[in-house]
Structure 1
């Protein structure tokens, strides 16, 4: 058995170069049984019993398909530790729930994210992407691609969908950065003890923003998503203001941050693989679907989700006991050599491409996957047509175990 000299719960592991992360997960996948790690030590919650790291594609598929065994609602899915109760007010969204409560909320909000509904936003996405490239050309080379391009499209689309005024875009952007900033000193102010207060304050401010809007839309509805949700009555069910606030936080975090990181990684991948850029330029529209899936696979914006085992369950030769935790590392599964030939190679023609960049199959598969694909497609279509030689420099990475993020990326063209 390989004796491990790294710890996935050590924050410093996630600050290591990406090649070291890749080699660590290669070693974990080569093991016959899943590795077990102690939980992170934090000052705002007791240390839990530890967790098994699921790094193989097959394990993540099976765990995702069995939500009644691998629970999202027992302490939360987005953190390895069991989060204190005060977090639920702002971050108790459906991603941290099991059925039937999860199914109820998803049923109410899912009507806004069908392919048919996403089609209605297409003109807005096209117009926004064109304006973003106009501004990029005006700014000139040397600007920050994340702030100038990658962050702007998903932020605008999500805010416009919800009916958030343009004057509040930066407010939403800043608070979502804090929520997903992890232990990055840029967002903690260098004081780890302030992580929780800053996180809760950012959640409270985002929730208040949408609740104020929802109260107004209840009396003055428009055609935005907030009006639809606050006035929705599906089989006699409505969202409470607290549920609406938590959903909005999930939406701006999952629908904004992850898409912007996929777009940022996409530029890095094209920069490092000029042959694939040339291939995409030969048929921008036709090769876009394959290119987008490959960007999401290699970018894997969300590193992990956690589950708790509800009963003894054998999976791929290992017996998991009731109350044990497992952490599904999507980044690792998307590089599983048993599934992806030459997995570290960027290949926009890769087919099939059964990545888990939007999560595994089952009830928690990403609700906004259609929208994310559309935004990434349109943004790169506009870039490749108008700035075909754009390149990204060395990324300034987010210091986080949860989000595989890029904070800044200087671009040249």
Structure 2
């Protein structure tokens, strides 16, 4: 689509209606924005009804170069001044639940990351590889003879949730409880859940408080009776004399179940849709799964970009890529758009599991806020498609229901899928 000022003026990233559009419409809109000579400035959505203060607006960073540079320069573009996961500044009552790593800057960020990173090194996540494979296999076992299912509810949502809960020591009887509270936190503005606009804030805080109570009770028990789970590691971690408080552990748990669970589930769901719509790429991956898995996963994350944006705020006047920002200016780093930047990704709209290089920013740009759980997410996505393609090679996605009405998460709420049941396929081979 050619650049046209009137078309660009019609694009309002703060309008909830924009995020109800199809992915194709979003792609066209962001292509228009990337073609502009400088980032556009937007008024903030009015969230006063749920307790968020009005703000002065923000610049939309939609080019790969801007997103990468702002990510690297955390001293100038900070996360803690008002929060990184929302456009409006985060009220105090929200910060106590959602004020974990993602909304911190150094030195607090470095301290907390130094302690919790012990559980998310490649070596540590490698140790749970067998657990991830086992969980993925069990989920495929549960659907293999049915021929159809809601892929999100029964596979994509459950895999990362079970992995995280198992890591934390949350019993299986509480898994659905965690899923429900996670959806309530991230899906509050979706029309399906928007039955009472004035009650969004209280529902989000209520869900967060219930998650805090769950993990706080567990942390108190693990301090006295440690096991090998992640809560035990965190509650008893002592790095250079530093320990986590129960509130810090609770906030970190919310970050894990909301960011870690929701983002990985949506990467897996979008991945099945991509393979369905690109049968040549499915066949290529089927022919040599292990060879193509690393690049295929990166490409799924690039195209799906489960986290659409993060927010930063300028700590001082600064010039970046020819644009002057003033102290206090808000900028939104639109990963979803950066991952489609034609100047970085040739034929950016094409799904190519062999794409190299692939400097995608779906796990965040380079710098201190690069996703702590990226190694784990890659293993989960790989495990999911290893089982699916090996055992249900013809699995295909139907038309998804409307995307989650969110400017923050590129979410698929429900995704019907079909496949040949294992017994039928085995019987056909025998005949």
- Asked if Structure 1 and Structure 2 have the same fold, meaning a TM-score greater than 0.5 normalized by the shorter chain, the answer is yes
Give the aligned partner of residue 15 of structure 1: 20
Give the aligned partner of residue 362 of structure 1: 367
Deviation at 1:382, TM superposition (A): 0.6
State the SS of the aligned residue for 1:305.
strand
Give the aligned partner of residue 144 of structure 1: 150
Provide the aligned length of Structure 1 versus Structure 2.
Answer: 411
Structure 1 residue runs of 4+, over 6 Å off? Answer: none
Report Cα offsets for 1:38-79 as digits up to 9, x if no partner: 001112223200000000000001000100000100000000
Distance across 1 between alignment mates of 2:186 and 2:398:
23
Distance across 2 between alignment mates of 1:46 and 1:214:
34
Deviation at 1:136, TM superposition (A): 1.2
Give the aligned partner of residue 280 of structure 2: 275
Give the aligned partner of residue 425 of structure 2: none
Confirm whether residue 36 of structure 1 aligns to residue 7 of structure 2: no
Report Cα offsets for 1:165-185 as digits up to 9, x if no partner: 110000001000111114113
Confirm whether residue 84 of structure 1 aligns to residue 88 of structure 2: no
Distance across 2 between alignment mates of 1:16 and 1:260:
21
Q: TM-score, normalised by structure 2?
A: 0.94
Deviation at 1:351, TM superposition (A): 0.3
Tell me, yes or no, if the aligned pair for 1:333 and 1:356 is still in contact at 8 Å: yes
Distance across 2 between alignment mates of 1:99 and 1:405:
31
Give the aligned partner of residue 294 of structure 1: 299
Tell me, yes or no, if the aligned pair for 2:59 and 2:332 is still in contact at 8 Å: yes
Give runs of aligned pairs for residues 296-375 of structure 1, distance below 5 A. 296-375=301-380
Deviation at 1:305, TM superposition (A): 0.2
Give the aligned partner of residue 62 of structure 1: 69
Report Cα offsets for 1:251-293 as digits up to 9, x if no partner: 1111111000000000000000000001111101111111100
Deviation at 1:19, TM superposition (A): 1.2
State the SS of the aligned residue for 2:271.
helix
Distance across 2 between alignment mates of 1:182 and 1:99:
30
Deviation at 1:194, TM superposition (A): 1.3
Deviation at 1:191, TM superposition (A): 1.4
Tell me, yes or no, if the aligned pair for 2:188 and 2:204 is still in contact at 8 Å: no
Give the aligned partner of residue 113 of structure 1: 120
Tell me, yes or no, if the aligned pair for 1:177 and 1:187 is still in contact at 8 Å: no
Q: CA RMSD in A?
A: 0.9
State the SS of the aligned residue for 2:394.
coil
2:142 pairs with one of 125, 135, 138: 135
Distance across 2 between alignment mates of 1:220 and 1:292:
38
Distance across 1 between alignment mates of 2:323 and 2:102:
26
1:402 and 1:182, CA in 2 relative to 1: closer, same or farther beyond 3 A? farther
Distance across 1 between alignment mates of 2:28 and 2:364:
22
Distance across 1 between alignment mates of 2:185 and 2:27:
26
Tell me, yes or no, if the aligned pair for 1:56 and 1:336 is still in contact at 8 Å: yes
Give runs of aligned pairs for residues 182-261 of structure 1, distance below 5 A. 182-188=188-194, 190-261=195-266
Deviation at 1:141, TM superposition (A): 2.6
Tell me, yes or no, if the aligned pair for 1:182 and 1:402 is still in contact at 8 Å: no
State the SS of the aligned residue for 1:206.
helix
Distance across 2 between alignment mates of 1:185 and 1:16:
13
Runs of 5+ consecutive residues of structure 1 not aligned to the other structure: none
State the SS of the aligned residue for 1:53.
strand
Confirm whether residue 2 of structure 1 aligns to residue 8 of structure 2: no
State the SS of the aligned residue for 2:115.
helix
2:177 pairs with one of 167, 171, 182: 171
Deviation at 1:94, TM superposition (A): 1.1
